[in-house]
Amino acid sequence: MTHTHRNPHAEGVETRRFGTFLLGHDPAVVRVAAAAGLDFVVLDAEHGTYPVDRMTQFIDAAQGIDVFVRCPVEDALHLAPVFDHGLTGVIVAGSPSPEDIARVMERVKFPPQGHRGSNPFVAAAGFGRIGGAEFAAKSNADTQVWVMAESRAQFEALPHYCDIPGVSGVFLGPYDLSVDLGVPGQMDHPAVTEALNGAIRTVREQHLPVAIFARDGASARAWLERGVTWVALSADWGLLAESWRRLRASAQGIAGKPIS
């Protein structure tokens, strides 16, 4: 099975894309996300548990939707086999340094950009249908490596991250940033707002897309107005819990019973 990936550089910095984070282990949810019109899903291997064989099942379930993995540097260094299976990209979390991102790039890209070993009989190469040279060139063009920037130090170093050859974009983490700035959870605090606005400008000036998490549609629209172009709309478990809460509240309201 081969998958058609969208290259963020080819699409341009203005292209708006919507996705969601996943914590559950049922690969069928990828088909649900695609049916809902989402562009991508992110397997959250930083806060969830996704062994390699489970990741490949999500990729197999993808139908016109991109699959990313968010994980710390140590795990990102071992994702080459998952890219061989058709993974779209990795969002490197855990406060990686520019040097860490360069190391990940070397592991997931083929020569001359990296040192990934080649096997033209893997799923992403059509099980031998695509020649080795063509597969390596296409994979290098399509394989996405994103920076998860979520600390004061990372925000200050954003120009260095953007200068790394092959970096696909920057995913901003406002929650961890607020903790690092000493105002945990205060998304509207001037220090957080100023840092985020500056980061968005910096990344866009480098002609790279900027991504961020949004809990709801209103928050997503606000981020889009500020220059973000990729938005992860909540997460599967959070969306399910919120839907059930609303349904229960509605049912109790109809029955005339107090909500408890």
**Domain extent for 223:** 8-255
Q: Which long-range contacts does 162-166 make (Cβ < 8 Å, 24+ apart)?
A: 162/202, 162/203, 162/206, 162/208, 163/206, 164/98, 164/101, 164/102, 164/105, 165/105, 165/113, 166/105, 166/109, 166/113, 166/140
- Residues 22 and 42: their CA atoms lie apart, in Å, by 6
Number of C-beta neighbours around residue 88 at 10 A: 24
> Does residue 180 fall inside a structural domain?
yes
> What's the CATH number where 128 sits?
3.20.20.60
Helix (H) or strand (E) holding 56: helix 52-61
- Residues 247 and 239: their CA atoms lie apart, in Å, by 12
How confident is the model at residue 8, as a pLDDT? 65
> Does residue 1 fall inside a structural domain?
no
User: Model confidence over 30-54: pLDDT tens digits?
Assistant: 999 999 999 999 999 999 899 999 9
Contact partners, residue 208, CB within 8 Å, separation at least 6 = 8, 13, 162, 167, 168, 169, 170
User: Model confidence over 89-147: pLDDT tens digits?
Assistant: 999 999 889 999 999 999 999 999 999 999 999 999 999 999 889 999 999 999 999 99
Phi-psi region of 184 (alpha: psi -120 to 50; beta: other; left: phi over 0): beta
How confident is the model at residue 1, as a pLDDT? 45
How confident is the model at residue 141, as a pLDDT? 95
User: Model confidence over 194-218: pLDDT tens digits?
Assistant: 999 999 999 999 999 999 999 999 9
Helix (H) or strand (E) holding 52: helix 52-61
Confidence bin at 258 (pLDDT 50/70/90): low
Q: What is the mean pLDDT of the chain?
A: 92
- Residues 172 and 155: their CA atoms lie apart, in Å, by 9
> Does residue 194 fall inside a structural domain?
yes
| Selection from 106, 110, 63 nearest residue 84 by Cα | 110
> Does residue 260 fall inside a structural domain?
no
How confident is the model at residue 253, as a pLDDT? 84
Contact 258, 252 (CB under 8 A): yes
> Does residue 100 fall inside a structural domain?
yes
Number of domains in the chain: 1
> Does residue 47 fall inside a structural domain?
yes
User: Model confidence over 177-191: pLDDT tens digits?
Assistant: 999 999 998 888 999
Backbone angles phi, psi at 193, to 5 degrees: -60, -45
Confidence bin at 7 (pLDDT 50/70/90): low
User: Does the pLDDT of residue 6 top 80, yes or no?
Assistant: no
Pairing of strands 230-235, 210-214: parallel
> Does residue 149 fall inside a structural domain?
yes
How confident is the model at residue 37, as a pLDDT? 96
Contact partners, residue 226, CB within 8 Å, separation at least 6 = 196, 197, 200
How confident is the model at residue 170, as a pLDDT? 98
Confidence bin at 4 (pLDDT 50/70/90): low
- pTM value is 0.91
